[in-house]
Chain A
Amino acid sequence: MAEHFNIIIVGAGPGGLSAAARAAEMGESHLLLEGSPTIANTISKFQKGKHVMAEPAVLPIRSKIAFEAGTRETILDTWNENITKINANLKFNSEVQKIKRNGNVFQIDTKDGQYTADNIVLSIGIQGNVRKLGVAGEDLEFVQYQLDDPDEYIDETIVVVGAGDAAIENAIALSKNNKVIILNRRDEFARAKEGNLNAILSAIEKGSIECIYNANASKVTNIGEDNGAEHRLCFEVATKEESIEIECDRIIARLGAFPPRKFLDSCGIEFPSEEPNAVPSVSGEYESNVKGLYIIGSLAGYPLIKQCVNQGYEVIEFICGREVEPADESLLWEKIKHIPNVKNVNEGIEIIRSKVPTFSSLTPLQLREFLLDSDIYKADLGQTLIEYNDYTNTFFSIISGEVNIRLTPDNPNNTVSIGSGNFFGEMSLISGRRRSATITAGENCIVIETPRRSMNKLINSVESVRRVINNTFISRAIKMHLAPGLDDEEISEVISSATLSEFKPNEIIFNEGDAGDSLHLIRSGSVTVSKVIGDKTTTLAYLPAGNYFGEMALLNDAPRSATVKTAVATETIVLQGKEFRRLLSKNPETKKKLEALSEARSLSNTTKKSGQGTDIVEFMMEQGLGEATDVLLIDESLCVRCDHCEKACAGTHGGSSMLDREAGPTVAGLHVPTSCRHCEHPHCMKDCPPDAIHRTADGEVYIADNCIGCGNCVRNCPYGVIQMAAVSKEPATPLWKQIIFGIDPYPETRDKNAPKKAVKCDMCKDLAGGPACVRACPTGAAIRVSPEEFITMKLQS
């Protein structure tokens, strides 16, 4: 007589385990059947030491199965531990061959047993049957469909087939010790994560991996060593143009996998389409069309491990007929409970949507996700939310109460206040520059503080939000720089006329002498203003974001008095002359101010000597210093090439230097080593999976410890100043040893498998007295300056 259980869970993957754990916890009679001899077969097939991510990061794990990002090994160990601790009822090596429904119970046959159950949870995933090459010789020895330890193979010629993440990760891992050729069916790596994409492309550029695009496998044949060939296999590949024969030692095909269609059909599960990789559709409670048969995990189309784990938990709850609230509920409550007299999350969401017009256009789901990254808190009266000149770039929205904006940094009383529904902090968010004002909390004020990353995500995804914020930015920018003390309706006209225009690096916005009737306000990026004096073009000024130009031509509608050229990719707000002049005519004193200002400018322009300081500025711009906030400059006439800067950097950053003194250009005895210049909009920040790259209030861009070493930032930095390095934790050689025996401070005793992380200049923010490179320079040749002040100095001197 077959054993009977309430719940039988098929497949001991993350989902299955978590389900079993929950069942055991709740004392349900249950059985977990696993075909393979180990748990989590798929994950255990990940390549050795692979870093398994736990996305989405904020989502909590509610199962007894603990899960957090880590290496394959650690995760498997924890799971084994957990599952045995909770003594769930597991059965390995019992692959389910047949599931059929007779009566109101299911009958399950394994090769050596038979069970019956009221409910079945299918969590078998899809890795069960991988896609093969599908050509002759696909099952030869050395043709494999998984890779356990890339370091097993050395000095082999290995062809990796596939363009997915698995293939890319394998290829890159193998390319360390082997000659790797990757075969791509198409002419691009479309399916890959961005990180992996960049990785493989740069690997191909570097030549460490060869790629054959538009290539299809046509045949694999075995050419044994016997007939003197140096390789085992011959892999015939057809591309658009020709057919290539690759002699190789090993073929690793990572072509993904299908749902086990036949088996599922046999269980009577229906599929929405005939697509081989289509997944069965399930109800909100994971129940398939077969009553009592639940499907979770990747088989149900939820590939993320975290989701599986949670689903495992939830499905049991559903089976036992209990309600489950969404996983992020508690998280959100933690934030939302700060809003007074709100009883539950949904209320809070509603209140926010109603109180803050910016978010009213968001769906509750969008808002939920958005709030997950944000903070909601009640700021005490007078508490400083934003400090003038800080480099913070979070975004604030006011739910209730009001905040006071200090108009003049030094005088705390000269303030204006904005009330509930408004937002602030968008200036720095957009321009990437220092905070333009100090803002303190007013009476019972409750704000949402949102980090740069998720705010940008929102701005880019939701048009309405983008528009609102842009307009506010424009109006505030105008008020701040051009027409202080004017209220919104006065300038509304100008704003409506304002348009946003983007420029490529080194693009000329307008030339000296052009007819021009518009004023530009730099939204982000920076420009240089130059003018032909004598016979040479002479740079007059360098204007970073927040400044404006073009007002002279506009005031006394003359042709442009100078040429303006972008230093980096730049966005400007263009104010149309007509509207603007009307505004000025309405407000004579504003006009006067502006005229006085442009007077001063043109005066300083006329006093400029020909060619003065131009070359240096031009050069700095060439180096992309237009977007730098702080750059390392070496005076070649002082530099004695002792490389102390590098040593110091290595010495203070676990043995890996983040600057290369010799590399990098030189002009007029001024050398710009390749080292981080802490951009206004750091390229490295975009696409950092764990959001590990941050900017301190003083502007340093640094990488936090939660870096997972994906290397995206390395590839995203246009200045090549980020490296991947195994940051050695073991202490450096004691100083006396270094001095007496001359032992290298960081002996190369690091093991190859040590996880590499991204390292970059952090301006030694943790060191008293500032950057070590500068302080270590024996001759005072190295300095770190903000290009702004440096250039202004150069232009004046």
Chain B
Amino acid sequence: MSFLDELGSFLGSANNRSQILGDLLEHCYLALVPLVAGVVIAIALCWLGRTWRPMRGVLLAVANVVYTIPSLALFVVIPSVIGTKILDSINVVVALTLYTSALLIRPTLDALEAVPQQVIASATAMGYRPARRFFAVELPLAVPVLTAGVRVASVSNISLVSVGALIGVGGLGVLFTDGFQREYFSPIVVGIVLTLVLALVVDLLLVLLRRILTPWERASASARRAVPA
């Protein structure tokens, strides 16, 4: 059978198709929940890091160490630490949340520290208290850099979820283990293609999200265009 024939018969089975769809949706979930959680945690930690100076160094150091831990090692160690059973999908979610947070700490800190002093000063002058100022001024200005970090994290997460198949967690990784066990190319190819497509789609959505959240960039860009350079 040529490869295309094999692919045809693989996708031709309704049972196969519904399994692939299920795997895809689960993969989606396992990659995106940590992304959102990671962003929230990174922002919260950075806010703390800016309020208490000594925490900043600790934060960067810990983030560095966490990010260094190899993926499979983290997946198998987390259950003992948080008390779940080893083959539970929550382990993957927790592990990826840790990675995402660790990855985002540095860019978030940099972004927050890059907000010009004048802007903060004027916000305070306008009567913003620190918390309000954080959410209404500093965070929105940090969005571009944050999004860049989140895009990197999303690609990483989507790729790492597959490794979860080695500890029995679903997602597209199941296609790889199945294909490997049976010397069957089709599921592997389908799995790789779907992973890439998913990464692309999520990336585009994030770019879109950034556009929505930073209307001033569009405004200033069009203003610049209106005035002859």
Q: Do A and B bind each other?
A: no
